[in-house]
Structure 1
Amino acid sequence: MSRQNRDELGEKPVSKLLIKLAIPASLAMMINGLYNVVDTIFIGRGVGNLAIGGLTIAFPIQMLIMGFAQMVGIGAASLVSRSLGAKDIEKADRVTGNAYFAIFALSLLITTFGLLFIDPLLYTFGATDTIIPYARDYVRIVLMGSIFFSFAMMSNNLIRAEGNAKVAMVSMMIGAVLNIALDPIFIFVFDLGIQGAALATVVAQFISFLYVLRYMYSGKSALKIHPHHLIPDIKIIREIFAIGFSAFARSSTSSIFAIVVNNTLRVFGGDIAIVIFGIVNRVIAFLFMPIIGVVQAMQPIAGYNYGAKKFDRVKEVVKYAVLASTALALIGWLLGQTLPKYIIQAFTDDQYTINEGARVFRIVIALIPVLGVQFVGATLFQAIGKAAPALFLSLLRQFILLTPLILILPHLYNLELYGVWLAFPIADFLAVIIVYLLMKFQMNLITKKAERQNQIEMEQTNQVDMKDELVFK
């Protein structure tokens, strides 16, 4: 791969390049999201509604683990893309080695802290006395296997940064397909209940971890990691964290958001409201997966070409990414608005949950077609190394807008539980306006850089032509 894929990032037509990288990334993300959905279906059918409530409480803890992995992976991927674009191969290798060190240290801290304070964590995330036994059984096992998930997710970002999206896709597909296959075996055949679902997840993540590790040391990767690259470099780690912190903020604020929404639901709706939100949230997360695949494909293209000063290509990939992500969000919206009962019915036979879940689903996804712009905006700033705006955009929807709305709306005009659901489309509407304005400003800056770069290239060409003409004379 190495040189060919690096050259493609800077030379191949942007539309074809985005399609090439986005299809495997989107497929991988969809399959990865599908395992979360199937996991919930098996648990709902095999254990019951309260077990889905347990997953709802556990999900933000998993998001927090993913946030640390994404922080290291996306931060390192941005540095690697720009280093490869600038032809600084040694720096790309040092960044990768430091990313390995960072993810190991963080995983060890997360697992230790999580196991020591598991019950207080679960109650903080909104668990009720009837739900906490299910959440505890699931989270304990997931924490013990978190290092495999974190390593594989972080490495997949680096693999995409070097232009090899297919390997990242296969890695995610291995984990997701194995998880789906093992779920019914552990839940029904071995009668392990929700612990079986957690065990299936950890085993699948371990196999995915082995696949990624084998690839990184097979010689096929453009990144060559030697022992001295693993020695921590504070400057590199600080830069990885600074750039990737926006991705961590997105996941960690999702956890803070979960604390707010789960506890609000516990007050205004009880166990059943938590169960409904768990189902709806899993389905929405699945609908977002192909969009995430598009922006994951966009990142190395934008980062590489920004580092190579090919600003016209940066503008082009942003345009195509916005169009693709919006189209995918619109498809998800159409499915959710036309088939909500059938979707909820896959998880449970309880008629009240089905009817109320369908109503809630329609409200919550009302404006998701506009969210493609927000995903692209946050990823653009990550790709070009603008940590502050990337962080702000990552915090915008869930933390800055949605969380306060969920706290306020239930108390206005006796909206109560309906206020929680109404907060989602309102936050989506406000978020897309803000993101659009920031993206427009940044794209104007990139346009000016592109014009300056084109002028410099024209002047250099004219100087060469003049020299050739003098030599000829």
Structure 2
Amino acid sequence: MNKTVFSKNEIKLCYDNLWKTIFIFSLPTVLVMAMTALYPILDKFIALTFVTPNVFHHQPYLDWYKEHISINNGELTYESAKIFVNLSTHFAMQIYNLLFAFAILFAIGTSITFAIKSGQSNKQQTQSLAGNALTITVLFSIVAAFFVFCLVFPQWDNIMILIQLSKKGTWIVQDLTWHYVFPMLLASPLMFVSYLLLTLLRTDGKSHAAIYITIGAIAINALFSIIFVKYGQMLLEGTMLGTIIAWIFIIIVSLICIYYNKNSYLRFHWRDLFYLHKTTIKEIFRLGFSSFINNLGAVLVSILSSAIISSLPGQFAQRQQYGLASFQLFNSAVSPWIAFFTAIALGIAQGMKTIIGYNYGAKKYLRMYQTCWYGLAIISGWLFFTLLLFIALGPQLLMAFAFPSDLVDEYRWIAVLMLMSYPCAAISFLGVSLFQGMNNARKAALCSSFRAFIVLPILMLCGYFLAHGLSDGTDQSNIYYFILLGLNDLISAIVVGIILYFFWYKHRHHIFNEVDEKDQEYLQSKKQQTSY
């Protein structure tokens, strides 16, 4: 009888210690997700540290503040300037994410198409696909940038910002945001192409190269942003110029990685840039559309949240002092932290997906079942730690992003209310990973949608009407809005948990499958190794 040869990957995925396996396969995705979420945090810190002094001495802002704000005799304080910068980066990041959703459409659509064609070992088709995708991405980035431009151009009322600010809001925030957004729109092809190439590198098996490139890009972004802002006396356009240079770095190094390997399936030719195939374009749109909708939905929910909290009852003192609602200041301070901690949880879930997918293909259903339970324990533990972190260090986390110190003792508990069922989100993440690993896109999308796009907007609207219905003219009734937000993860977990239960009940007889001959051979060889 021929002896079965077990690959290292197979041993790790199917037989090795499961805690160790989850760690090995989750670490790269955790790093990628954490670095992606770290970008807006780093951008905010750079802006608050280096842009604030420039805003504080910018004469047009000083004149506007003196004319429209009566607090402190119309004198712009350094703390107020910090608050304006922080809120501007919050709005600018929403616009960035809106444009980025279009970039995701092409990057994900191309990567899935590339994976299918490379699995067929058709090198010519994959090279043609890479060239076609590059041209289509550049052309569509211009269209997407113009669409976003129509939503944010100041002379056309800057719709995306005005719907989120109380009344007409503050001109300083609008102008600062435009300083960031305008160069971003001009350089939109660089954003789209850089993300496309990074995604294709990961799909082509060069995930380590993609991680190193991302780390280098973050360092370059930080360095040049500081140089432009501090020594060029720029406002938020300085931070965006640093980002643009980072995009150029990503494109150059990614192309070097592609063409350095003569056998790369991504080495497109000049003709591939100009001879476009209709079927390729259709496939990219079809396969990337669901990811585009998910990311677009997340941006729209974020905008809805900002619009609602700006019109919650009370908040008079902050509107008089800053021209802004206090809950907007809170939202812009807490959102980056929640996004960062959630990104790490999603990174763990993505690592689980690989283990689940491999064992599903190998029909090792018990290993799948165990991975789900181990992963659920790890993710829920991480989210519970995050909740404890907000309970213990809430004031420090809020004040890191220029939240007014006189409000922090009250609003720290609002953050805790928002996150009171946060550990339950682990069930939603588990459902997505399980069904993605089993290639069940419909159920995966359903599990993802409940938490992000179905339950949350309903709770937001219910909380808004409840806060106004119980209002006594102060901001005391607003607590009901945040209590309802805090129930989002619990309600979503109950719904997804029911889906998972019925799935388990239907397939329960297949989970505890008997040990097959290959398993017995591995266990026998393992026993022989330990006996020596």
Q: Same fold (TM over 0.5)?
A: yes
2:212 corresponds to 1:170 = yes
Higher helix share: 1
The equivalent residue for 2:379 is 325
Would the alpha carbon gap of residues 99 and 243 (structure 1) be closer, same or farther in structure 2, given more than 3 Å must change? same
Structure 1 residue aligned with 2:221: 179
1:391–1:433 Cα change, 3 Å: same
**Which consecutive unaligned segments of at least 5 residues does structure 1 have?**
1-6, 460-473
The residue aligned with 1:70 is 104
Q: Verify: 1:126 aligned to 2:187, yes or no.
A: no
* Matched residue, 1:435: 496
Q: Say if 2:40 and 2:93, in contact at 8 Å, map to a contact too.
A: no
- State which drifts further: 363-372 or 411-420: 411-420
State the identity as a percent: 21
Give the Å deviation of 1:444.
6.4
The residue number in structure 2 matching 1:37 is 41
Partner of 1:339, secondary structure, is helix
**CA offset digits 1:397-446 (Å, max 9, x no partner):** 23211112212212213375334422321111111122233344556677
- Cα distance change of structure 1 residues 201 and 339 upon mapping to structure 2, 3 Å threshold: same
> Matched residue of 1:226: which SS?
coil
1:49-448 aligned at under 5 Å gives the runs 49-78=83-112, 87-90=119-122, 93=126, 99-100=133-134, 102-119=136-153, 120-123=158-161, 126-127=164-165, 128-130=169-171, 131-219=173-261, 223-227=265-269, 238=282, 240-268=284-312, 269=315, 270-300=324-354, 302=356, 318-348=372-402, 350-412=404-466, 413-414=470-471, 417-442=478-503
Query: Partners of 1:215 and 1:367 in 2: how far apart?
Result: 44
CA distance 1:170–1:436, change in 2 (3 Å): farther
Tell me which residue corresponds to 2:73.
none
TM-score after normalising by structure 1: 0.80
Distance verdict in 2 for CA 1:153–1:421, change over 3 Å? farther
User: Which one has the largest radius of gyration?
Assistant: 2
Aligned partner of residue 260 in structure 2, secondary structure: coil
Q: Please identify, of 421-430 and 296-305, the stretch whose mean Cα deviation from structure 2 is larger.
A: 296-305
The aligned counterpart of 1:471 is none
CA distance in 2, matches of 1:439, 1:221: 43
* Amino acid in the other structure paired with 2:232: F
- The CA deviation at 1:281 is 0.4
Report how far residue 254 of structure 1 moved: 1.7
| SS of corresponding position for 2:103 | helix
* 167 and 277 in structure 1: CA distance in 2 versus 1, 3 angstrom threshold: same
Question: Could you report, residue by residue, the CA deviation over 1:158-207 in whole angstroms, capped at 9, with x for unpaired residues?
Answer: 44445543223222222222223333333333221222222222222322
1:15-60 CA deviation, whole Å, 9 max, x = no partner?
4554334223322332332231132233334422112222222222
CA distance in 2 between partners of 1:374 and 1:101 (Å): 37
Equivalent pairs, count: 450
User: CA 1:346–1:392 in structure 2 vs 1: closer, same or farther (change >3 Å)?
Assistant: same
Does the aligned pair in 1 maintain the 2:334–2:397 contact within 8 Å? Answer: no
User: Which consecutive residues of structure 2, in runs of 5 or more, have no partner in the other structure?
Assistant: 1-6, 53-81, 316-323, 519-532
Higher mean Cα deviation, 416-425 or 270-279? 416-425
Q: Report the TM-score, using the length of structure 2 for normalisation.
A: 0.72
Query: Quick check: 1:162–1:300 contact (8 Å CA) kept in 2?
Result: no
Query: What CA RMSD, in Å, does the superposition of the two structures yield over aligned residues?
Result: 3.7
What is the CA–CA distance in structure 2 between the aligned matches of 1:221 and 1:317, rounded to whole Å? 36
**Structure 2 vs 1, CA of residues 296 and 179 (structure 1 numbering), >3 Å: closer, same or farther?**
farther
Question: For the Cα contact (< 8 Å) 1:311–1:449, is it kept in 2?
Answer: yes
Quick one: higher RCO (CA 8 Å, sep 6+), 1 or 2? 1
